[in-house]
Structure 1
Amino acid sequence: MYRFLLTPRWWGINVFVVLAIPFCLFMGTWQLGKFEERVDTHKEAEREPSPDERGTVPLEELLPVDKKTSGRPAEATGVYGEQFRVPDRSVKGERGDYVLTLLRTDGGKTLPVVRGWVAQGAPAPAPPAGEVTVTGWLQASENMGTDGVHTAGGLPAGQLGMISAASLVNLVPDDVYDAWITLTEADGSMGAVPAAVAEGNGLDMKAFQNLGYTGEWFVFAAFVLFMWFRLVRREAEAIRDRELGLEPESV
C-alpha cells in the first residue's frame, strides 16, 4: 500500500522532509545555545564587582572597550576643545541634548566626553579652561542600532547624531578614540548622563528572542513531521478507497 512513497512526486516530498527537519533542529539548537550563552554572560556579570566598587583607572588600560570594560570608571587628562550637542536624547524620561566636548588628551588623541544633559533649547555651559582631569563611565562607540541615535541627515552645524569615532573623523584633525565617557558628575547645572549597559551583557530582550526562536524552530520541525504523516495517511486512505471501489464517481 505504501509503494507510492517511491513515486517521483513523493521522492520530492520525502527529500524536503529529510532536509527540513534536521535544518529546523539545527537552527533551534543554535538559538538555544545563544540563549544559554547570554545566561552565562549574565551570571558572570553578576559575579563581577559593580562599577561603583571598582577603582578608577587610566583610560588606556581599559581599551579596547568590550563587555567587561564597558561601564568601568576611566580617567583621562587633557584640554577641552570643540563642543557639540547630541540632540533628542532622553534622561529620566525627559527629552533634551547631550553636551559632548572633545578632550585632547596628553597622548595626542581626542576623547569624546559627555559632560552632561540639558533640556531642549537650554544653553550648554562652556567647558573649563586649561588642563583638566576627567573621570567618567567608559562607553563603546554608538552605531546605527543604538537607542537614541539620530539616523536622519541634515543636522545643524554643531550637532552630532551619533557618538562615535566615525562621525567625528571628518570634524577634528586629531585621531579620535573608538570610545567615549560620560562624566560621573556632570559639569555645572547639567544633569548627569547615566552609563548604558553593554550590549549582550545580560538577560535583555535579545536573550528572550533567542529563546522564542528556539521554540519556533522546534515547532517547525514537529509541524513538518506531522504534515508528512498526515499526507501519507491521506494518500494511503485514497488508495484503499479506490481498491474497495469506494471512490466517488466523477461527474
Structure 2
Amino acid sequence: MRSPLLSPRWLGLHLAALLVALVCTAGAYWQGNRAFEPDRDVITNPVEDLADAVPVTDLGEPGTYLHPNLTANTAVRARGRFDADAQLLVPQRMDGTEGYAVVAPLVTEEGVALAVNRGWSAEGTEPPPSPEGEVTVTGWLQPPQDSSEGFVPMGESEAGTAERIAPSVLVGEWDYRLYAAYLTLPGSDPAAGGLTPMPPPEPPTEFSINWRSLSYSVQWAMFGASGVAFWIILMRRELAEARARNTGGASEESERDPDQPAGAGS
C-alpha cells in the first residue's frame, strides 16, 4: 500500500517544509555573517604621532607589567646613553628578506635601560655603531616580541645576537634593569644611524559584535527548527492515523462470519 505521505497534499507539504528550512538557514547564515563582519574590528590603540610623545618614565616603573594599551604604538621619548658594546642583532625579516634588527640598551641616568630597536640591517652587512654621548630618542613603544615573530636561523646563535626583542631574553645579555617593552625608532631619528626603519606593527584591534544581527540569526534558526519540528509532528500524526485506520479495518474483517456474504444482514 502506498504511503499516505506520498499523496499530492503531502508532497506539497514536503516542498513547503523544504522551502522554510532553506529560507531560515539562509537568513541565519546572512545575519550571522553580518554580526561578525571584518569591518567591525575596532582599533583600540592607533599609531600615535611622535609629536605627542611622553616620557617613558610616565608609563611605569622598570620591570613592572605594562598594559598592552601602553605598549602598543604609544609615542614616547627617553634620554640616556647607548651602551655601544652591548648592541645586539636580532634575526628579523623585512619584506621577505632575512636580516637583523639592531638593538641596543639606552641607559638612563638612573641606571635603568630601555631596549631600542634602531632599525633593520640586511644579512651580511655591518650595522653602524650606536651614537656616543647623551641622546634623546623618540619612537613607538612596543610589547615584547614572542617566538612567532621574526625568524630563527639554523644552527647555534652567533655571538652578539639574541633570539628576540624581549626583556626576558635581553636580561641575560645585559646587566641592567629593563623596562618591560622596547622602543622602535623612525628612520628620521639620528640614533637610527641610517638603518632601514622598521614600521611599528599594525594597531591592535578588538572585535565588536553586532548583537542585533546575532539575535536575528538566532531567531531565523529558531523559526527553521520550529518549522522542521512541526513538519515531523504532522508526519508522525498522519502515519499514526493511517495505522489506526488500517488496524480498524483489519479488525472488522476478522470479526465478520466467513460463511456470510459481504453486505448480508444479521
Matches of 1:107 and 1:180 in 2, distance apart? Answer: 17
Report the equivalent of 2:124.
121
Matches of 1:241 and 1:172 in 2, distance apart? Answer: 87
Structure 1 residues 115-162: Cα deviation after superposition (integer angstroms, max 9, x where no partner): 0111122222221233322111111222345xx344799650433333
* Structure 2 residue matching 1:51: 3-state secondary structure: coil
Identify which of 41, 55, 58 aligns with 2:55: 58
Q: State the shift of 1:227 in Å.
A: 5.5
Q: Indicate yes or no: 2:108 matched with 1:105.
A: yes
Structure 2 length as normaliser, TM-score?
0.58
Residue range with higher mean Cα deviation, 168-177 or 118-127:
168-177
**Residue identity opposite 1:85 in structure 2:** L
Residue ranges of structure 2 left out of the alignment (5+ in a row): 1-27, 61-65, 248-266
Q: State the shift of 1:78 in Å.
A: 1.9
**Residue identity opposite 1:174 in structure 2:** Y
Alpha-carbon spacing, 1:67–1:197, altered in 2? closer, same or farther (3 Å): farther
Q: Is the 8 A contact 2:91 2:100 kept in 1?
A: yes
Q: Is the 8 A contact 1:165 1:177 kept in 2?
A: yes
* Structure 1 residue matching 2:240: 3-state secondary structure: helix
Report the equivalent of 2:90.
86
Structure 1 length as normaliser, TM-score?
0.61
Q: State the shift of 1:184 in Å.
A: 1.8
* Structure 2 residue matching 1:167: 3-state secondary structure: helix
Structure 1 residues 65-101: Cα deviation after superposition (integer angstroms, max 9, x where no partner): 543663232111222231222213224x544321111
Alpha-carbon spacing, 1:245–1:102, altered in 2? closer, same or farther (3 Å): farther
**Residue identity opposite 2:48 in structure 1:** P
* Structure 2 residue matching 1:97: 3-state secondary structure: strand
**Residue identity opposite 2:111 in structure 1:** G
Q: Is the 8 A contact 1:113 1:183 kept in 2?
A: yes
Alpha-carbon spacing, 1:83–1:245, altered in 2? closer, same or farther (3 Å): farther
Alpha-carbon spacing, 1:66–1:224, altered in 2? closer, same or farther (3 Å): same
Matches of 1:138 and 1:74 in 2, distance apart? Answer: 6
Q: Is the 8 A contact 2:45 2:72 kept in 1?
A: no
Q: Indicate yes or no: 2:195 matched with 1:190.
A: yes
Report the equivalent of 2:253.
none
Report the equivalent of 1:134.
137
Q: State the shift of 1:53 in Å.
A: 6.7
Identity of aligned residues (%): 26
Matches of 2:109 and 2:37 in 1, distance apart? Answer: 43
Matches of 1:53 and 1:189 in 2, distance apart? Answer: 19
Q: Is the 8 A contact 1:102 1:112 kept in 2?
A: yes
Matches of 2:175 and 2:196 in 1, distance apart? Answer: 30
Matches of 2:197 and 2:106 in 1, distance apart? Answer: 18
* Structure 1 residue matching 2:135: 3-state secondary structure: strand
The structure with the larger Rg is: 2
Alpha-carbon spacing, 1:153–1:110, altered in 2? closer, same or farther (3 Å): farther
Matches of 1:144 and 1:177 in 2, distance apart? Answer: 19
Q: State the shift of 1:177 in Å.
A: 0.9
**Residue identity opposite 1:117 in structure 2:** W
Report the equivalent of 1:72.
74
Q: Is the 8 A contact 2:56 2:78 kept in 1?
A: yes
Number of paired residues? Answer: 202
Matches of 1:159 and 1:225 in 2, distance apart? Answer: 64
Alpha-carbon spacing, 1:113–1:68, altered in 2? closer, same or farther (3 Å): closer
Identify which of 164, 167, 171 aligns with 2:166: 164
* Structure 2 residue matching 1:191: 3-state secondary structure: coil
Report the equivalent of 2:23.
none
